[in-house]
């Protein structure tokens, strides 16, 4: 009964359904890339920069590789990096924010200080800095994105905790003798999770952009691994002679980010009880 009611609310949000549809398709494409892609994404057919044709749906790049196949395989890197790095950021940011917000005082000051320092760098600058220092590869790109987003997640959680911990049911639970961890896990976390979910979804979208930017700069996955940012970088040089090389991955990045943002906005509509019809 409750489940059906929830499903109805979900179905009401067109944003959420659209975003979800886009992301599910992307995930399916990434999983079944081997079956969808007509060519090996690394194989060259020695006829570079062919325009789109029935043989090569989106043409070939400067090394004669099939752009469509590279696009399909490129979704793997994009999704893998964004989910894993934001997952790690949440894993660290969530307890940081929870502890800072709940205990307050010196603990909060220390954690907030670290958060503020990290937040004073724009995410893209911070990630470039870290990957440039540690060396350009996929692992370091993910690591840098995690570092950039951990303080963002922590700050959102902290703000939520600060408002939830003043609720009477938390005060009541403390009066009953509830210990810190019990109250955090039983009362504060479940009541803070909704806005966090929205922010994590939006962060996934930002992570897609940042990963693509790093790849564009050659700081993420190294060639010949197919990735959308790297494809744009290669296409940039032939923008007048072979515009398909750059346009196709550009559109895919847009669609992926749009998917995450629509899902995030949709979730916000659904999860915020103030916007929900009674």
Q: Which of 49, 62, 137, 174 binds other proteins (CB under 8 A)?
A: 174
Asked if 173 touches other proteins (CB under 8 A), the answer is yes
The owner of tokens 């906005």 is 265
Q: 32 or 182: whose CB is closer to other proteins?
A: 182
- Would you give the binding string for other proteins spanning residues 117-156, x where CB under 8 A is met? ----------------------------------------
Q: The tokens of 154 are what? A: 């922590």
Q: Which of 187, 220, 229, 262 binds other proteins (CB under 8 A)?
A: 187
Residues with Cβ within 8 Å of residue 71, at least 6 apart in sequence: 58, 226, 228, 231, 248, 249, 252
The owner of tokens 């081997």 is 34
Asked if 176 touches other proteins (CB under 8 A), the answer is yes
Degrees to nearest 5, angle at CA 66 with 64 and 69:
155
Residues with Cβ within 8 Å of residue 135, at least 6 apart in sequence: none
Region near other proteins per CB under 8 A, out of 30-38, 141-149, 164-172, 201-209: 164-172
Q: 137 or 173: whose CB is closer to other proteins?
A: 173
Asked if 190 touches other proteins (CB under 8 A), the answer is yes
Region near other proteins per CB under 8 A, out of 132-140, 186-194, 231-239, 243-251: 186-194
Q: 47 or 276: whose CB is closer to other proteins?
A: 276
d(CA 258, CA 202): 10
**What are the distances in angstroms from CA 44 to CA 48, 180, 226?**
8, 60, 13
The owner of tokens 């899902």 is 263
Asked if 177 touches other proteins (CB under 8 A), the answer is yes
Q: The tokens of 236 are what? A: 């940039």
Q: Which of 48, 52, 95, 178 binds other proteins (CB under 8 A)?
A: 178
Asked if 182 touches other proteins (CB under 8 A), the answer is yes
Q: The tokens of 108 are what? A: 């909060």
Classify residue 78 by burial, with Cβ atoms within 10 Å: 0-12, 13-18, 19+.
buried
Q: 39 or 102: whose CB is closer to other proteins?
A: 102
Q: The tokens of 241 are what? A: 């002679």
Asked if 91 touches other proteins (CB under 8 A), the answer is no
Q: How far apart are CB 182 and other proteins at their closest, in Å?
A: 7
Residues that bind other proteins (CB under 8 A): 167-169, 171-178, 182, 186-187, 190-191, 273
């Amino acid at each position: 009964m409750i489940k059906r009611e929830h499903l109805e609310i979900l179905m009401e949000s067109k944003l959420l359904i659209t975003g979800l549809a886009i992301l599910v398709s992307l995930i399916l494409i990434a999983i079944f890339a081997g079956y969808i892609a007509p060519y090996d994404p690394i194989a060259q057919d020695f006829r570079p920069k062919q325009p789109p044709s029935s043989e090569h749906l989106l043409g070939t790049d400067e090394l004669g590789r099939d752009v469509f196949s590279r696009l399909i395989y490129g979704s793997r890197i994009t999704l893998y990096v964004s989910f894993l790095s934001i997952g790690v950021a949440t894993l660290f940011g969530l307890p940081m924010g929870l502890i800072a917000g709940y205990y307050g005082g010196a603990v909060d000051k220390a954690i907030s200080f670290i958060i503020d320092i990290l937040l004073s760098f724009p995410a893209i600058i911070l990630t470039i800095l870290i990957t440039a220092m540690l060396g350009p590869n996929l692992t370091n790109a993910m690591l840098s994105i995690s570092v950039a987003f951990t303080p963002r997640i922590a700050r959102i959680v902290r703000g939520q905790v600060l408002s939830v911990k003043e609720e009477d049911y938390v005060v009541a639970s403390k009066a009953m003798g509830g210990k810190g961890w019990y109250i955090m896990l039983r009362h504060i976390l479940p009541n803070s999770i909704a806005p966090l979910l929205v922010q994590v979804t939006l962060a996934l979208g930002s992570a897609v952009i940042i990963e693509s930017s790093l790849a564009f700069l050659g700081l993420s996955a190294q060639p010949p691994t197919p990735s959308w940012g790297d494809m744009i970088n290669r296409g940039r040089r032939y923008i007048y002679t072979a515009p398909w090389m750059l346009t196709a991955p550009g559109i895919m990045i847009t669609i992926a980010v749009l998917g995450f943002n629509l899902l995030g906005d949709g979730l916000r509509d659904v999860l915020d009880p103030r916007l929900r019809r009674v």
